[in-house]
Amino acid sequence: MKKGLFSKMVATYTVIITISFIIIAAFLSFWFQSYYFAQKEQQLKEEAQFLGGPVIQFFRGGISTADIIQTIEARSKYLKTNIIVTDDYGYVRLVSNPDYDKFIGQQILTSDLDSLRKGLIVKRVGDYGQIFKVPVHTYEVPIAYHGVYKAVIMMSTSVTDLKEPLKDVYEIIWSSALFAIAFACFIIYYFSQKILIKPLKEINNVADKIAKGEVDKRVKLESNDEIGELAYSFNSMADSLEKVEYNRREFLSNVSHEIRSPITSIRGFIGGILDGVIPKDKEKYYLSLTYQEIERLTRLVNDLLDLSAIESGKLKLNTEKVNISEIIRLTVIKFETKIMEKGIKVDVCFNDENIYSVVDRDRITQVITNLIDNAVKYVIEGGYIRISTRFKGGKVYISIFNNGPAIPEEDLKYIWDRFYKVDKSRTSKVSTGLGLPIVRSILTQHEEDIWVENKKNGGVEFTFTLGRAN
C-alpha cells in the first residue's frame, strides 16, 4: 500500500499543492512589487508637488540658493533619492548631492522636454546617459506656475535601493509558501494514513484472513464516507461468504449422513446374508430391503445432480408450448397406486380444460411430480388432495392442497433448504429432502415464483405460477 496508492497519492497532491503555492507566491510578489512601485511613484509625485513651491520661489528670486538646497537635501535624505532641478530648457540649476555639482549649468534634458512641457510625468530606468554610476529609477515631474511650464524636478533612486525593502516582503511570501507546502504535505500524509490508507490496510488484512479460512473476521470501521460504505459492503460480502461456508459444511454433513444411512443398511443386509446370519428363507426379504435402499441412494444421487446442474446454470431449458392441464392429469395417474393405498380422494379443478404455457416440459413435469408426491406423502390416511388452476393477468396459478397436518410456523422458512425435513422420523426413508429445493430452483430458472401457506381450516397448500400462452 505504501509503495503503491499511498506514494502516488501523496506525490500527486504534493505536486499540485507545490505548483499552486508557487503560482500564488509569484502572483503576490508581482502584485506587491507593482503596488510598491505605484505607492513610491505617488509619494515622489506628492513630494515633487511639495518642492514645486520653493523651486518656483527660487526661480523668481524669492528664496536664496542656500535655503532651497537645504530643503532639497532634507527631502532627498527623507526619500533616499537624488534630486536634480532643471529649468524649462533642461539645464541643471540645483542638485541634492554634491557629487553632481559638476552637472550644474549643463543641459541634461533634451528628448523629454516635449512631454514635460505638456505636463506629463516621464519615467526612466537606467543610468540616464551615464550620469549615474548604477541603474536608477528616474521620475521627471514638470513644475508649472500659473499654468506655464517653468522647471523640472528629477528624482532618481537606485534600483538596488528601491528593491531593497521588497526583499523582506519576498522572503516572507516565499517562506510562507514553503511552510504552507510543508504543512500541507504533512496534513495530506497524516489524513491519508488515517482516513484512507489505514482503513484500506485493515480491509486488506481482514480479506487476507478470510481467504485463509477465517470467515468470521470482520472490518471494524465507523465512517459515513465511501470508505465506510466499502467496509459495510465488505462485511456484507463476508457475511455471505460465512453463510456459504456454513451451508457448504452443512451440505456436506447432510450428504454424508444421507449416503451413509443406506450404505450402512446395504452393507448390513448383504453382510448378514454372506455370513449366514440371515436364514435362507429370509434372504429374499432382506434383498428386497437392500434393493429399496439402493433405490433411495439412486434417488439421492439423481436429485443432487439435478440440483447442482440447476444452481450452477448448466441446465439449459428446452422451452416449448405445452398443455399444463395434460401434464397434471398424467402426473396424477402415475400416483394412482399410492393414492389408492392410502384411500386418498383427489379432486382436480381446472379453470380451463387446456391451459398452455411456454416452459420446459420435463422440468415442469418434475415440479408437479414433486409437489403431488409431497402432498401424497403428508396427507392423512383417507385424506383429501385438491389440484386447482386459476388465471390472473398473464399468469396461471397452480395450487396443490392436502389436508394433512400444518407445517409449524418455525419450519416454514426452512422447507426450501436442502435436506430439511419437517417430520424427520416419517420421511427419513422416503424423502431425500431435496424435492422442494429442486422445485424452487426450476421455477426460479423459469423466472416464476412458488409459496406455501397453512390454510385456516387445516391443511397445507403449495402455489406456483407459470406464464400463460395463448
- Residues making up the chain, counted from first to last: 470
Name the burial class of residue 156, with classes exposed (0-12), middle (13-18) and buried (19+) by CB atoms within 10 angstroms of its CB: buried
Residue 1 has a pLDDT of: 45
Q: Which of 310, 330, 358 is the last residue of a domain?
A: 310
- The per-residue pLDDT for range 269-300, each reduced to its tens digit, is 888 888 888 888 888 888 888 887 787 778 77
Is 195 inside a domain boundary?
no
Confidence of residue 258 (pLDDT cuts 50, 70, 90): low
How many Å apart are CA 69 and CA 298, to the nearest integer? 127
Residue 121 has a pLDDT of: 84
Closest listed residue to residue 417, CA positions, set 238, 241, 250, 239: 250
Q: What are phi and psi of 33, to 5 degrees?
A: -60, -45
Is 174 inside a domain boundary?
no
How many Å apart are CA 45 and CA 122, to the nearest integer? 11
Are residues 326 and 444 located together in one domain of the fold?
yes
Report, as an integer, the average pLDDT of 131-142.
80
Q: Which of 130, 164, 198 is the last residue of a domain?
A: 164
Residue 257 has a pLDDT of: 62
- The CA-based angle 463-465-466, given to 5 degrees, is 145
Q: Which of 139, 164, 189 is the last residue of a domain?
A: 164
Residue 175 has a pLDDT of: 87
Report, as an integer, the average pLDDT of 436-443.
85
Q: What's the longest Cα–Cα distance across the chain? A: 162
How many Å apart are CA 106 and CA 27, to the nearest integer? 43
Task: Report the interhelical angle of 226-275 vs 198-211 (nearest 10°).
Answer: 10
Residue found by looking up cell 507566491 in the block: 25
H-helix or E-strand containing 36? helix 7-59
Domain count within the chain: 3
Are residues 423 and 442 located together in one domain of the fold?
yes
User: CB-based contacts of 322: which residues, under 8 Å, 6+ apart?
Assistant: 356, 357, 358, 359, 361, 364
How many Å apart are CA 69 and CA 57, to the nearest integer? 13
Are residues 150 and 7 located together in one domain of the fold?
yes
Are residues 375 and 332 located together in one domain of the fold?
yes
Are residues 242 and 301 located together in one domain of the fold?
yes
- For 283-305, b where at least 16 C-beta lie within 10 A, e where not — what string? eeebeeebeebeebbebbeebbe
Are residues 256 and 146 located together in one domain of the fold?
no
Are residues 7 and 144 located together in one domain of the fold?
yes
H-helix or E-strand containing 364? helix 361-378
For the chain, helix, strand, coil in percent to 5 are: 60, 20, 25
What residues form DSSP beta bridges with 141? 153
How many Å apart are CA 232 and CA 224, to the nearest integer? 10
Residue 440 has a pLDDT of: 87
Are residues 296 and 352 located together in one domain of the fold?
no
What is the domain range of residue 403? 317-467
Is 272 inside a domain boundary?
yes
Residue 321 has a pLDDT of: 92
Report, as an integer, the average pLDDT of 214-229.
76
How many Å apart are CA 92 and CA 107, to the nearest integer? 6
- The per-residue pLDDT for range 100-121, each reduced to its tens digit, is 888 888 888 878 888 888 888 8
Rounded mean pLDDT of the chain?
A: 82
Question: Is the pLDDT assigned to residue 427 strictly greater than 50?
Answer: no
Residue found by looking up cell 431449458 in the block: 317
Question: Is the pLDDT assigned to residue 172 strictly greater than 70?
Answer: yes
Question: Is the pLDDT assigned to residue 208 strictly greater than 50?
Answer: yes
When computed from its CA atoms, the radius of gyration of the chain, rounded to whole angstroms, is: 52
Asked whether the CA dihedral 95, 101, 104, 106 is positive or negative, the reply is: negative
Report, as an integer, the average pLDDT of 438-444.
86
Closest listed residue to residue 16, CA positions, set 185, 192, 195, 183: 185
Task: Supply the CATH number for residue 87's domain.
Answer: 3.30.450.20
Task: State the pTM of this model.
Answer: 0.47
Q: Among the listed ranges 144-148, 260-264, 368-372, 450-454, which one has the minimum average pLDDT value?
A: 260-264
What residues form DSSP beta bridges with 94? 85
Residue 100 has a pLDDT of: 81
**Contacts of range 73-78, beta carbons closer than 8 Å, 24 or more positions apart:** 75/47, 75/50, 75/51
How many Å apart are CA 383 and CA 151, to the nearest integer? 132
- The per-residue pLDDT for range 26-83, each reduced to its tens digit, is 888 888 888 887 888 788 888 888 888 888 888 888 888 888 888 888 888 888 888 8
Are residues 9 and 57 located together in one domain of the fold?
yes
Give the 3-state secondary structure of 224-273: CCHHHHHHHHHHHHHHHHHHHHHHHHHHHHHHHHHHHHHHHHHHHHHHHH
What residues form DSSP beta bridges with 126? 136
Question: Is the pLDDT assigned to residue 133 strictly greater than 80?
Answer: no
Our measurement of the distance from residue 237's CA atom to the centroid of its chain's CA atoms, rounded to an integer in Å, reads 16
- The CA-based angle 353-359-365, given to 5 degrees, is 70
Residue 3 has a pLDDT of: 52
Q: What are phi and psi of 86, to 5 degrees?
A: -120, 165
Residue 51 has a pLDDT of: 86
Q: Among the listed ranges 43-57, 190-204, 342-356, which one has the minimum average pLDDT value?
A: 190-204
The pLDDT > 90 percentage for the chain reads 12
Question: Is the pLDDT assigned to residue 192 strictly greater than 90?
Answer: no
Confidence of residue 324 (pLDDT cuts 50, 70, 90): very high
Is 462 inside a domain boundary?
yes
Confidence of residue 463 (pLDDT cuts 50, 70, 90): very high
Alpha helix ranges (H) inside 379-446: 409-412, 424-427, 435-445
Residue 426 has a pLDDT of: 42
Question: Is the pLDDT assigned to residue 425 strictly greater than 60?
Answer: no
Between 85 and 426, where is the model more confident?
85
Is 209 inside a domain boundary?
no
Confidence of residue 465 (pLDDT cuts 50, 70, 90): very high
Residue 428 has a pLDDT of: 46
The pLDDT > 70 percentage for the chain reads 90
Report, as an integer, the average pLDDT of 289-315.
73
How many Å apart are CA 83 and CA 155, to the nearest integer? 5
* DSSP character at residue 407: P
